[in-house]
Structure 1
Amino acid sequence: MADVPGTEKGERTVRGREGAVTARGADAWAQVISESFVPLSLGSVSDEFRGSVRPSDLGPALTLTDVRTHGHSVVARTARLVRTEPSDDCLFSLHLEGEGAVVQGGHEARLRPGGGALYDTARPYELRFPTGTRQLVLQIPRQHLSDRVGRVEDLCGRALPAGQASVRVLTACVKELADTGDRLTVAERAELGTVAVDLLASALRAGAGGDGPPDGRTALRLAMRAFVRDHLADPRLTPEALARQHGISVRYTAQLFAADGTSPAAFIRAERLRAAHRMLVDPRFAGFTVSALAARCGFTDRTTFTRAFVREFGLPPAALRAARSRSTRT
């Protein structure tokens, strides 16, 4: 194990085996959770507070983190942090032990063991934990969910109860992923991560009153968009492969994407670039080279990736990462 410098005297952050990070004290915990999820502000904590996180990568854009705390705490995503440290992810907390609450958009979701709640990093929220807890937190790009459930904003800050049948199925899946994820291959984790997002979408729809997904052309278009986002790492993902997967012609596939003002090839490329951008500015991926991150997003050639990235974002990927690193140190 190794201590991580930069915290106040008497506080420490320790990196253990299997990627677990343990923090003692308020400042150390604030650093750990901000690096693990999005920048956050820590309110009151107990004097002997300690917590740990163990993240697991389930694909280019999906993360499952096992969070354990001892002592009470209050965590906030303030309006200032939303402005200065923007994010477009959603977080779903599956509560396993202790008590807690998610407050967002005028709603307060009470967290009980076996239940959970969704919250949105693009808007302020507060997490209140009067006791020690254990949670499994799924971090998902908003678009991955909105393709499945529609308006994500309407589903945030509302409790999904443990007794709901779809929540019980979701809980079983997510717990198994947390417990066995380190024994799965990268491809298996990505595939099962997609299953977890689908189960979450089902639970959210059931919790909202049982509304089903849209029908007809819209449903097929949304399903294809979701499939692209869930399989960005596969370099074999092409418009032809997408059409085959859904049993339709390439021409009809092009017509469906034209309804959104784009083409299948352009959509695949844009989503891969957005995924790469997210990882380049995410401290959780600081240990990966640019080439490795490009490969995780389906780019097999570094030069092709860099040219496409510059056209999309105006600067090379390495320059973006360096600029982001400087901004977080100041």
Structure 2
Amino acid sequence: MTQPTTVLRMDSREQLRLAARASYASAAAAAGHSFRGELVLQELGGSVRLTRANCDSLSIRRADHRQDTPLDDLMRFCMHVRGEGSLLQHGRRTEVRSGEGVLYEARRAWELEFPSRFDSLTLQFPRSLMPRDLQNVTARCAQPVDTTSTAARLAAGFLGHLHSTAAGLTPRQRHDAGMAAVNLVAMMIRGIAPSPPADDGSDAVLLRMVQCCVRRHFSDPALTVVELARRHHISLRRLYSLFEGAGTTPSACIRKERLRAAEALLADRRYRDRTVAHVAESVGFAQVRTLERLFLREHGVPPGEWRRRHMLRDD
């Protein structure tokens, strides 16, 4: 029998990874930091669950898997109590601030990023519990909820109060409270103007997720093509196929981001005392020779000479 309330404390990156895997997702803590977090799950019956998360900075994502999972047809509404984050789904990235909320489909490709410690409430529920006219909610996903509306304030207050009092409710009361929470979320969602996905193709959405991952983590020297595929739970063949459609390769994408970051540092007078080797290391290159070869290919001169010419041109 499922426990009505479960508390999961995570004291390491490995515990975070295992907790994410249970939701058919992958997660990573911020580079260079230890990880601490706590999840308090309130089972409300009928596959409705309210989760309070209080965690350090992390990123969590799910690829658009083809096989069926228990997540099929589940919706999630995430309300940020404290801290900021962003959600990427259906080609749309939405920044979510403290006090705001966002809806997403659990079974489709998505990515959540939390740049600092955060506190959130997430209501998970079957799509079938939504009113009939709202069951096709794809066009309302990954869009910020208007927190100034009466409906949003009412829903946010109810979710917070429900989480703090659910442990004292009978099974029947928890079920009724869960249905009330779903109805309040539906009331909020009606205020979101439908927006077509930026691209209906799941491959295009997944490609955007991978590219976003590269832009955010290119400075990590451990970010290789193999690691990129692992983080998104896809094969190397699938990863190369995604980039082939964009006319490039995953390795070229990583190199480009690192090269552009190196150019920005070398052109900035504030970093004129940094050696080329230091710049190469700070943008993720394991060896300075790699950066030197890229500069020769791109600009026809080594990075040190490129920096000197750039400084002279700005004088």
Residue 145 of structure 1: which of 130, 134, 157 is its match? Answer: 130
Amino acid at match of 1:88: D
Aligned residue number for residue 56 of structure 1: 42
User: Deviation per CA, 1:28-74, whole angstroms, max 9, x where unpaired?
Assistant: 11212333xx211113524221111111111121010111102x211
Aligned residue number for residue 21 of structure 1: 8
Relative distance call for 1:83 and 1:169 in structure 2 (3 A) is same
Aligned residue number for residue 30 of structure 1: 17
The answer on 1:73 being equivalent to 2:58 is yes
Aligned residue number for residue 214 of structure 1: none
The answer on 1:45 being equivalent to 2:33 is no
Superposition deviation, residue 151 in structure 1: 1.4
Flag the structure with more relative contact order, 1 or 2, with Cα contacts below 8 A and sequence separation at least 6. 2
Instruction: Compare 53-62 and 168-177 and name the one that shifted more.
Output: 53-62
- Take 1:161 and 1:100, find their aligned partners in 2: how far apart are those partners? 16
- Take 1:149 and 1:188, find their aligned partners in 2: how far apart are those partners? 25
- Take 1:202 and 1:84, find their aligned partners in 2: how far apart are those partners? 29
Residue 149 of structure 2: which of 141, 164, 167 is its match? Answer: 164
Superposition deviation, residue 148 in structure 1: 5.2
Superposition deviation, residue 24 in structure 1: 1.8
Residue 182 of structure 1: which of 133, 157, 167 is its match? Answer: 167
- Take 2:174 and 2:133, find their aligned partners in 1: how far apart are those partners? 20
**What is the TM-score with the length of structure 2 in the denominator?**
0.56
Amino acid at match of 1:190: H
Amino acid at match of 2:17: A
Aligned residue number for residue 326 of structure 1: none
Relative distance call for 1:106 and 1:146 in structure 2 (3 A) is farther
Relative distance call for 1:44 and 1:51 in structure 2 (3 A) is closer
The answer on 1:100 being equivalent to 2:85 is yes
- Give the match's secondary structure for 2:45: coil
- Take 1:97 and 1:140, find their aligned partners in 2: how far apart are those partners? 23
Over the aligned positions, Cα root-mean-square deviation in angstroms equals: 2.0
Tell whether the 8 Å contact from 1:145 to 1:152 is kept in structure 2 after alignment: no
For structure 1, list consecutive stretches of 5 or more residues without a partner in the other structure.
1-17, 210-330
Name the larger-Rg structure: 2
Amino acid at match of 2:173: E
Superposition deviation, residue 146 in structure 1: 5.5
Amino acid at match of 2:12: G
- Take 1:77 and 1:33, find their aligned partners in 2: how far apart are those partners? 9
Superposition deviation, residue 25 in structure 1: 2.2
- Take 1:104 and 1:24, find their aligned partners in 2: how far apart are those partners? 29
The answer on 1:131 being equivalent to 2:116 is yes
Identity %: 25
- Take 1:55 and 1:44, find their aligned partners in 2: how far apart are those partners? 21
User: Deviation per CA, 1:237-265, whole angstroms, max 9, x where unpaired?
Assistant: xxxxxxxxxxxxxxxxxxxxxxxxxxxxx
- Take 2:143 and 2:88, find their aligned partners in 1: how far apart are those partners? 9
Superposition deviation, residue 186 in structure 1: 1.1
**Post-superposition, which runs of at least 4 consecutive aligned residues in structure 1 deviate over 4 A?**
none
Tell whether the 8 Å contact from 2:20 to 2:26 is kept in structure 1 after alignment: no
Tell whether the 8 Å contact from 1:148 to 1:201 is kept in structure 2 after alignment: no
Aligned residues: 189
Superposition deviation, residue 143 in structure 1: 1.7
